[in-house]
Structure 1
Amino acid sequence: MKKLSLLLLAITTFSCTQKEKVDTVVINANIYTVNPNFDKAEAFAVKEGEIVAIGTTQDIQTKYTATQVNDVQGKTIVPGFIDAHCHFYGLGLLQQKVDVSGTKSFDEVVAKIVAFQKEKNLPYITGRGWDQNDWEVKEFPTNEKLNELFPNTPIAITRIDGHALLANNAAIELAKITPNTKEEGGFIIKENGKLTGIFIDGPMELIEAKIPTPSKKEQIQALKDAEALCFNLGLTTVDDAGLPQETIELIDSLQKAGELKMRIYAMVSVSDKNIDYYTKKGIIKTNRLNVRSFKVYADGALGSRGAAMKKSYSDKHNHFGAMVTPLEDLETYAQKIAASDYQMNTHAIGDSANYVMLKTYKNVLKGKKDKRWRIEHAQIVDKTDFEYFNNILPSVQPTHATSDMYWAEDRVGEKRIKGAYAYKDLLNQYGKIALGTDFPIEKVSPFLTFYAAVARKDLNNYPKNGFQIENALSREETLKGMTIWAAYSNFEEQEKGSLEIGKLADFIVLNEDIMKVETSKIPYIQVTETYVNGEKVK
């Protein structure tokens, strides 16, 4: 009997020693792996920031022992969300500026600026968020009130989409702008030959050139503020659509020092100088930073009538919007980028801009495979041009559809609106679609992205049957667009975007099953935990 007991003890001890030691096991979960079969699982094991096993709770507990065991008690786990198009650094900077988003009148904008300056007392006031389409009077404001209240303090407040700006006379005089200043790549709005303070697209740079540059301390704080906001909402990778070299290098230094843990796919702001520098340097890839693309602007935005259209705007006769980058420059950029390993990601809103960029892409990519060049927004596409997306990747932001649906048809008319925000049509052409928010133009929450993609409604359940519901995405398509397809758009599908063996342990825990919860509840889902590299960051 004693020998039998010793034998059993030896067997038990041997069995225990056979368990592999890992850092973390997650058990009792409702896991959507987003693998090729869209399989579900209950548990997984994490070692050195990667998933080493995934399966049932019993299997994982039998085979692994861990320093940390996370029993999520049936909660839903999905891969960490990837925002395929946003302005991460811009979001952080906005936390240090006056926020006039959600205002219902220009008087409310002015009141917010007054309150902000009373608290901050800054030498130059900047901010963002106004949208005349949300006001009773849906016209661009003029700067008279700002001139009266702030005769000596420059003010530059950007429209919600970043494609129009209101400046007071102090800012205009600082920039040495007159009614005779040449307009390039956009418009300077005048009334009776006088400046109104509104600058659209290209001419905005004249004002922005005189805005004080944030200090390094302010830049670092902006990145950390943005990171905290994004981690709280389950974002583990962000594609920052347009960064200068110095900001990319600051991000890299903070990540390497362990002060910034967000994974960032950095699109370099296009210029001849930046193309020459980065294409010679080659792809820059670390565990948390990926630099292998250029952000290019073709046209402006629909809300400010800066999007380049084939025919004139339905609500402004003989106005076609504008290309903000000259056609010859777009062609030159495309040829230079095509000769490198870098990707070209172009902002294109209007049907004319989309057509020009699709044709340009096709011409320079002949004979080149797997370049994954992207059209960012692909907002208004002529029905005859959808076929060009058969090897051009659409990167879209579903909340643009639900933000613009109240007035978009007024801009483009009944016929053209059918090719607008057509996410299902775009998906059917390419086979994948990358989803993002374009924050801070839209709210940061990926749950609003998910809801807009599947319901095509606002939070008040409008419209009842969904805006052009034929272009809604399924929940599975939407989750893929926010995870594995977004990763693919960044050439990162082998390392993230799904919960599989060998991939990074970037995952989030939700308080509701996003794939089954009532549609109206999707926007209110909460992230209870966020993990990057297996480390809890929220």
Structure 2
Amino acid sequence: MKKTIFLLLFSVALISCKQQEKADLIVINANAYTVNDNFDKAESFAIKDGKFIAVGTNKEIQNKYTTLKTIDAQNNAVYPGFIDGHCHFYGLGLQQQKVNLVGTKSYDDVLQRLVAFQKEKNTTFITGRGWDQNDWEVKEFPTKEKLDSVFPNTPVAIRRIDGHAILVNQKAIDLAGISTESKIDGGEFIQKDGKLTGVLIDNAMNFIKIPKPSKREQIQALKDAQKICFDLGLTTVDDAGLDKQVIELVDSLQQTGDLKMRIYAMISNNKENLDYYLNKGVVKTDRLHVRSVKVYSDGALGSRGATLKDEYSDKKGHFGALVNSYEDLQNLAQRIANSEYQMNTHAIGDSANYVMLKTYDEVLKNKKDRRWRIEHAQVVDLKDFHFFKNVLPSIQPTHATSDMYWAEERVGAERIKGAYAYNDLLKQYGKVALGTDFPIEHVSPLYTFYAASIRKDLKGYPENGYQMNNALSRENTLKGMTIWNAYANFEEAEKGSIEIGKVADFIILENDIMTVDEKKIPHTKVLETYVNGEKVN
């Protein structure tokens, strides 16, 4: 009798094992936010061939699937891999090879970092980025005299944190052939007492010919950027402005497996890129997607290059300037509208936003599902918000918490009501794409989440949050960093949520940012990052 029962149980177990399907990886005991249409949560999911094949409870998944590899998430929070909707991935990597001037508290602080860098590197052309005069006690643009005294024979070119102004020394000016008579549309050579100060704005920066990195340096830059991003939970990045040569290098490194990051590449707006890609059409692989053009309409608010309808509140008679002419922007929009490509336009000031929104409205008539984006949408006239019903806002929440100390001085009490108005933008389109604009801002998507939903800086200022009527809910913020960013990239069917058939990109965090006390959000650690079910950090 005992033998019969044993054989019966053995047969049932054998049949049960045969019925189980094989998975490459199973995750159990997860506090997982799927970010599907119902915003469901799950305990477990199974992965095969780099995709989610089942999502459910521990019991459901373990009964149906067998695997040689199981991850116990220990009830930690699990999310779809974060997507940065607007950044400069390649630029972040290159920045690792330059002077880091982020956080400098004075011009002298900048000089000290330059001297220390040059002592270590001894380069023939010193470059760097990150200074911001708004963080200094003297909130005026620096002038080049101190730079000339420290570096009389070595050219120096250091970008402001927003990338729309650059400080150069006399040696760099001489190499570029710039004089007090130099002029350019969409830019400015700032002068004081009839002399060049060394600060160049927007298109004027193009005069400075900084040596191009070698291929070895480019490859290292991409690998450096990947490590930083994977460690912080990013699995897809939208690189806002790449040239054909860099895109092809990215593709080659992805094909060899040296680069595992997924990249949505916006091509830079120049003749070579446009002629090649608009004729070639959309480029799509498992990890690379090329189908958009990054365009600049104006500069930045911090350097007063953003184009405003009325003069700057803190600089009478100054309105900023378009960096491309109105006619060129219209012609470009029409050309892109006649292709398969998406147009993603940098627009900061209310005038630049209006110009681009009107242009989009005109050229996209009778064209469906183009998902054209305004990048930043930073200052928008309250009368113009309705245009966003058909235009996707691509916004960077940490810009609000970085600029809030001085933004109202630039635009005044009335215009500030339409600035950094993320919830108002969401109400118009129904979705927002969220990013960082790194390395202008910190890379961490958790800072993005905190700035969007809590609207404070890392010191907890202001106590009640900045313009909280335009804060996003935590749920909408998470969507904006995952499924809505996937949508912005025409990739919502393949990523952005933990659902069957989608790529198995997910992250495990030490805290549940949907419920944890707000103070813990920006300091939450990313425990593990997975791309295609493969651990990458």
With the length of structure 2 as denominator, give the TM-score of the two structures. Answer: 0.99
**Residues of 1 paired with 2:352 and 2:249: CA distance?**
33
**Residues of 1 paired with 2:517 and 2:297: CA distance?**
39
- For residues 495-526 of structure 1, what are the alpha-carbon distances to aligned partners after superposition, in whole Å with 9 as ceiling and x for unaligned? 00000000000000000111000011100111
The amino acid that maps onto 2:349 is: G
- For residues 331-370 of structure 1, what are the alpha-carbon distances to aligned partners after superposition, in whole Å with 9 as ceiling and x for unaligned? 1110110001100000000000000000000000000000
**Residues of 1 paired with 2:238 and 2:516: CA distance?**
28
* Runs of 4+ with deviation above 4 angstroms: none
Residue 67 (structure 1) shift: 2.1
- For residues 102-125 of structure 1, what are the alpha-carbon distances to aligned partners after superposition, in whole Å with 9 as ceiling and x for unaligned? 000000000100010000000000
Residue in 2 aligned with 1:333?
Answer: 332
Residue in 2 aligned with 1:308?
Answer: 307
**Residues of 2 paired with 1:365 and 1:183: CA distance?**
31
Q: For the Cα contact (< 8 Å) 1:224–1:260, is it kept in 2?
A: yes
Q: For the Cα contact (< 8 Å) 1:275–1:336, is it kept in 2?
A: no
Q: Secondary structure at the match of 1:406?
A: coil
- For residues 452-496 of structure 1, what are the alpha-carbon distances to aligned partners after superposition, in whole Å with 9 as ceiling and x for unaligned? 001111112111111110000000000000000000000000000
Q: Secondary structure at the match of 2:128?
A: strand
**Residues of 1 paired with 2:5 and 2:446: CA distance?**
58
Residue in 1 aligned with 2:494?
Answer: 495
Residue 11 (structure 1) shift: 1.6
The amino acid that maps onto 1:283 is: V
Residue in 2 aligned with 1:443?
Answer: 442
Residue 4 (structure 1) shift: 3.5
Pair 1:193 & 2:194 matched: yes
Residue in 2 aligned with 1:203?
Answer: 204
Residue 192 (structure 1) shift: 1.6
The amino acid that maps onto 2:502 is: K
Residue in 2 aligned with 1:324?
Answer: 323
Residue in 2 aligned with 1:238?
Answer: 237
Residue 17 (structure 1) shift: 1.2
The amino acid that maps onto 1:133 is: N
Pair 1:388 & 2:387 matched: yes
The amino acid that maps onto 2:50 is: G
Aligned length: 536
5+ unaligned residues in a row in structure 2: which ranges?
Answer: none
Residue in 1 aligned with 2:428?
Answer: 429
Residue in 2 aligned with 1:88?
Answer: 89
**Residues of 2 paired with 1:300 and 1:211: CA distance?**
20
5 Å-filtered alignment, 1:44-193, equals: 44-193=45-194
Residue in 1 aligned with 2:484?
Answer: 485
**Residues of 2 paired with 1:187 and 1:180: CA distance?**
11
Q: Secondary structure at the match of 1:67?
A: coil
Residue 327 (structure 1) shift: 1.0
The amino acid that maps onto 1:197 is: G
Residue 211 (structure 1) shift: 1.0
**Residues of 2 paired with 1:76 and 1:462: CA distance?**
27
5 Å-filtered alignment, 1:374-385, equals: 374-385=373-384
Q: Secondary structure at the match of 2:365?
A: coil
- For residues 386-425 of structure 1, what are the alpha-carbon distances to aligned partners after superposition, in whole Å with 9 as ceiling and x for unaligned? 0000010000000000000000000000000000000000
Q: For the Cα contact (< 8 Å) 1:312–1:319, is it kept in 2?
A: yes
Q: For the Cα contact (< 8 Å) 1:272–1:333, is it kept in 2?
A: no
**Residues of 2 paired with 1:353 and 1:280: CA distance?**
28
With the length of structure 1 as denominator, give the TM-score of the two structures. Answer: 0.99
Residue 258 (structure 1) shift: 0.3
**Residues of 2 paired with 1:67 and 1:184: CA distance?**
63
Q: CA RMSD in A?
A: 0.6
**Residues of 2 paired with 1:482 and 1:375: CA distance?**
17
The amino acid that maps onto 2:223 is: K
Residue 276 (structure 1) shift: 1.9
- For residues 213-259 of structure 1, what are the alpha-carbon distances to aligned partners after superposition, in whole Å with 9 as ceiling and x for unaligned? 10000000000000000000000000000001100000000000000
5 Å-filtered alignment, 1:347-426, equals: 347-426=346-425
Residue 193 (structure 1) shift: 1.5
Residue in 2 aligned with 1:463?
Answer: 462
**Residues of 1 paired with 2:139 and 2:403: CA distance?**
14
Q: Secondary structure at the match of 2:513?
A: coil
Residue 183 (structure 1) shift: 2.1
5 Å-filtered alignment, 1:259-338, equals: 259-338=258-337
Residue in 1 aligned with 2:31?
Answer: 30
**Residues of 2 paired with 1:322 and 1:67: CA distance?**
61
Residue 184 (structure 1) shift: 2.0
Pair 1:223 & 2:222 matched: yes
Residue 447 (structure 1) shift: 0.6
**Residues of 2 paired with 1:188 and 1:502: CA distance?**
54
